[in-house]
Amino acid sequence: MFVSKKLGIIAAIALAGLAQPAFAQATLHVFLWDAGPDVEMAAGHKMGDGGDPLTATMGMAISVSTVPAGKVIFDVTNNSVDTMHEMVVSKLPGPDAVLPYNADIARVDESAIGNAGEIEDLDFSQEGELSVILDPGTYALYCNIPGHYAAGMWTKITVQ
């Protein structure tokens, strides 16, 4: 009797494990770009600035703007021919929030917003990969090399 009860408990635990929802996983392709070395870096293209995207001299293009919560793999390509970039992932407090910007150093204040992960110092024409676990919410992807964020190098994704 004891053995059959123990087997029943083991079977119940195994079945409960099978009943758990599968862990979501998504791959997001991110392309970092700039207008090249002969173009003066623009400013006024931070979140909430209202800058014309057609005048941005740097940016990020993404393959999808919404991913499921769980493991997200960022497959990042720096399409620049001569400029190093990076990609930082930060959760925003809401969909209309903007990143805290320190104009004195021309960078986002990562200590104020937090950082869910990043690929630092991605040389031109190189690729990198970042895997992070993301909860539902709105996230900013941005380059935090001085001046790059203000030049338009950011985008948002929604995690559902």
Q: What is the CATH number of the domain that holds 133?
A: 2.60.40.420
Q: What is the pLDDT of residues 78-124, one digit of tens each?
A: 999 999 999 999 999 999 999 999 999 999 999 999 999 999 999 99
Residue 73 domain flag: yes
Q: Is 42 in contact with 129 (CB distance < 8 Å)?
A: no
Q: Is 159 in contact with 68 (CB distance < 8 Å)?
A: yes
| Residue labelled with tokens 């030049």 | 151
The predicted model scores a pTM of: 0.84
Residue 7 domain flag: no
If you average pLDDT over every residue of the chain, what do you get?
Answer: 88
Residue 128 domain flag: yes
Residue 28 domain flag: yes
Q: Is 30 in contact with 75 (CB distance < 8 Å)?
A: yes
Residue 36 domain flag: yes
Q: Does pLDDT of 151 surpass 70?
A: yes
Residue 13 domain flag: no
**Nearest residue to 32 (alpha-carbon basis) of 53, 62, 65:** 62
Number of structural domains found in the chain: 1
Residue 6 domain flag: no
Domain region containing 140: 23-159
